[in-house]
Structure 1
Amino acid sequence: MSITKLENTFSLFDTTAQILQEELDCTYLEALAETAENLFHGAVIQEEVSEVTKRRLEKEYSKQNLTSLQKEEIRKGFQLAILKGMKDAVQANHQMTPDAIAMFMGYLVGKYTSHLQQLTMLDPAIGTGNLLTAVLNHQPNKKLEAFGVDVDDLLVKLAYNNANLQEQAISLFNQDGLSNLFVEPVDVVVSDLPVGYYPDDNNAANFKLKAEEGHSYAHYLFIEQGLRYTKPGGHLLFLVPNSMFEEEEAKRVNALIKDEAYIQGMLQLPETMFQNKNHAKSILVLQKKGIGIEPPKEALLVNLPSFSNMQAMEKIMAQINHWFSEQKNKK
């Protein structure tokens, strides 16, 4: 995607969001959701805006036709605007999965599900929808149906706009991702796991991985929840903190995974991607056990180089592709 195209797309979202932010006296992210709604409907739908503002918005909207853009071009432009808004947002849960990671997870999902023509997918902590839409955009020629859950109503609204503008079929639920979900088991669960303590001890009591005392770890509960909502033989790709398996309670997570799934892969992301190496993450890939499902001869264990180091990435990608072809031959 050309820089100019990306700049123009970002500029369209940014300029019109700022106009609406001023007019509606709301946050930038709320205004961004409103302008995305206008772009989707092809009209200014906020009744409270003045005639002058309406004309200003229409003039900006006429400068670029989103229907001429690829889904990924829209996602990236919208993502940049969300990132700008998140700099001002104080809530810790308003974080977004870095673009290179989202696209790489999309590539992995494509590899693990290459035998499927139809794919159902769930993100139980969807946030703004950036990870899920990036993964969906990297599954060409497949019939896709996806579900996303988030407790934060603003994030769900942004995910809804994100999906609409990219014409991706995602059913969204504004609820706690660890409550009972109105979703049938899916082929793939993807999630950038919320890390930290889960405040609802009553609901945590429904999980095997609940803490024996005090609050439970949200990221543990989301792994268990993901397994509940995956079909036998389905895959789960989680972005997890590297420190997760060093935590005191990690043996309980390991025991649950051993009971219910096979570890297909653990891909450690380059520490340079994270401001603090203590916050570095890996992609954990699981396959839920089922009839006829066998563990891999050996799991895909990779330390990924910097995504900008093309030579090193090509070498690693060749190794990963070789691993997948070996798995196919094994079958």
Structure 2
Amino acid sequence: MNISTVEDLFTLFNETALILQEELSCTYLEALAETGENIFHQSVLQEELSELTIKRLKKSYESVNLSKYNVEEIRRSFQLAILKGMQENIQANHQMTPDTIGMLVGYLVNKFVKQPSFRLFDPTIGTGNLLTTVINQQSGKSIDSVGIDIDDLLIKLAYINANLQSHPVQLFNQDSLEPLFIDLVDVVVSDLPYGYYPNDVRSAEYQLKADSGHSYAHHLLIEQSINYTKDGGYLFFIIPNGLFESEEAPKLHQYLNEKAYIQGILQLPLSLFKNEKAAKSILILQKKGIDVKKPKQVLLANLPSLTKAAEVEKMLGKIDVWISENK
């Protein structure tokens, strides 16, 4: 991947978004979605723009040929523009999975999921960065994917993100904990949002509902994801380190014992997070099924700082050995 190429494409996204932001009196992220749509369709779709602005945009769009870029260059440049927009207007639900974590999840999906074609699902897709990072690492595989998010701007950015990278992704703008109108999937990836789910009526439908008060959204999302996964399918969740230490943890343990096998828990390096309380791990589950066997032992690892290449290589080697012995 060429860094200067990523910068060139970011400049295109950024400069044209700024033009649209001013002209349409909207947020930067809304303008970014508009310019992404224009670039994909190779035309200026906003009818309310002045003639001069349309000319400026067309000149910018014509200066770049998307087919010259690979999917990772497109994803990274669009991601940089999204991150810029999020810094302007940070909301709790507008957090993007860091690239290093997304790459690691993609690596794990590639190692665990051997079939040449599979159906992939992210129930908390956000801007689509985690999903497309994972897809981009499954070379030579045919992937049919689906994503859900309750935030209409984030789902629009996910749609643009997928289109620009030519990934066929089916998207739904809805609450992921409501009934879903999707086929069962082979693989789930999700950076689980941490907190309480306010809809107690809906929570009551779940086994992992709290006995009193609001239920944990991250527990319910694990249950919902398992519900929509085929027997033997894999689930890769980015979880808070304290997931199994809360007062609701015994119920989660019991549920997972019934429904799935824990394949692994990989603790991410603390250097990736602002503080220890924000630290996360990757939880790997396999849904139970007739021919699904429990691993001989659970893969447990504390990942080294990702800047220490030799230590990371060594750890990935250990993960490879574990997979070959347990799969």
Shorter-normalised TM-score: what interval? over 0.9
Hey, what's the Cα distance between the residues in 2 that align with 1:308 and 1:56?
42
The equivalences for 1:149-164 within 5 A come to 149-164=148-163
Q: One-letter code of the match for 1:279?
A: A
Give the aligned partner of residue 22 of structure 1: 22
Q: One-letter code of the match for 1:317?
A: L
Give the aligned partner of residue 209 of structure 1: 208
Quick check: 1:143 aligned with 2:142? yes
Q: One-letter code of the match for 1:175?
A: Q
Give the aligned partner of residue 57 of structure 2: 57
Give the aligned partner of residue 101 of structure 1: 101
Number of residue-to-residue matches in the alignment: 327
Q: One-letter code of the match for 1:141?
A: G
C-alpha displacement at 1:63, in angstroms? 2.2
Structure 1 runs (4+) greater than 4 angstroms displaced: none
C-alpha displacement at 1:62, in angstroms? 2.1
Quick check: 1:240 aligned with 2:242? no
The equivalences for 1:318-329 within 5 A come to 318-328=317-327
After superposition, give the CA deviation of every residue in 1:144-181 in whole Å (9 maximum; x if it has no partner): 10010000000000000000000101100000001111
Give the aligned partner of residue 312 of structure 2: 313
Hey, what's the Cα distance between the residues in 1 that align with 2:167 and 2:3?
24
Quick check: 1:77 aligned with 2:77? yes
Hey, what's the Cα distance between the residues in 2 that align with 1:5 and 1:170?
25
Q: Report the secondary structure of 1:107's partner residue.
A: helix
The equivalences for 1:231-270 within 5 A come to 231-270=230-269
Q: One-letter code of the match for 2:226?
A: L
Hey, what's the Cα distance between the residues in 1 that align with 2:277 and 2:63?
44
Gaps of 5+ in 1: none
The equivalences for 1:28-39 within 5 A come to 28-39=28-39
TM-score (norm 2): 0.99
Contact 2:208 2:223 in 1 (8 A): yes
C-alpha displacement at 1:5, in angstroms? 1.0
C-alpha displacement at 1:184, in angstroms? 1.2
Q: One-letter code of the match for 1:194?
A: P
Give the aligned partner of residue 272 of structure 2: 273
Hey, what's the Cα distance between the residues in 1 that align with 2:24 and 2:307?
41
Give the aligned partner of residue 182 of structure 2: 183
Give the aligned partner of residue 169 of structure 1: 168
Q: Report the secondary structure of 2:242's partner residue.
A: helix
Hey, what's the Cα distance between the residues in 2 that align with 1:201 and 1:307?
40
Quick check: 1:294 aligned with 2:257? no
Q: One-letter code of the match for 1:147?
A: V
Q: Report the secondary structure of 2:243's partner residue.
A: helix
Give the aligned partner of residue 45 of structure 1: 45
RMSD of Structure 2 on Structure 1 (CA): 0.8
Contact 2:270 2:276 in 1 (8 A): yes
Gaps of 5+ in 2: none
Give the aligned partner of residue 68 of structure 1: 68
C-alpha displacement at 1:321, in angstroms? 1.1
Give the aligned partner of residue 131 of structure 2: 132
C-alpha displacement at 1:117, in angstroms? 1.3
Hey, what's the Cα distance between the residues in 2 that align with 1:25 and 1:213?
45
After superposition, give the CA deviation of every residue in 1:116-140 in whole Å (9 maximum; x if it has no partner): 0111011111000000011111111
Q: One-letter code of the match for 1:225?
A: Q
Q: One-letter code of the match for 1:252?
A: K
Hey, what's the Cα distance between the residues in 2 that align with 1:108 and 1:129?
18
C-alpha displacement at 1:300, in angstroms? 1.1
C-alpha displacement at 1:243, in angstroms? 1.1
Q: One-letter code of the match for 1:221?
A: L
Hey, what's the Cα distance between the residues in 2 that align with 1:276 and 1:47?
47
Contact 2:162 2:169 in 1 (8 A): yes
Percent identity, please. Answer: 57
Hey, what's the Cα distance between the residues in 2 that align with 1:267 and 1:204?
29
Q: One-letter code of the match for 2:210?
A: A
Contact 2:2 2:73 in 1 (8 A): no
Q: One-letter code of the match for 2:204?
A: A
Quick check: 1:199 aligned with 2:207? no
Hey, what's the Cα distance between the residues in 2 that align with 1:255 and 1:303?
25
Of stretches 237-246 and 59-68 in structure 1, the one that deviates more from structure 2 is 59-68
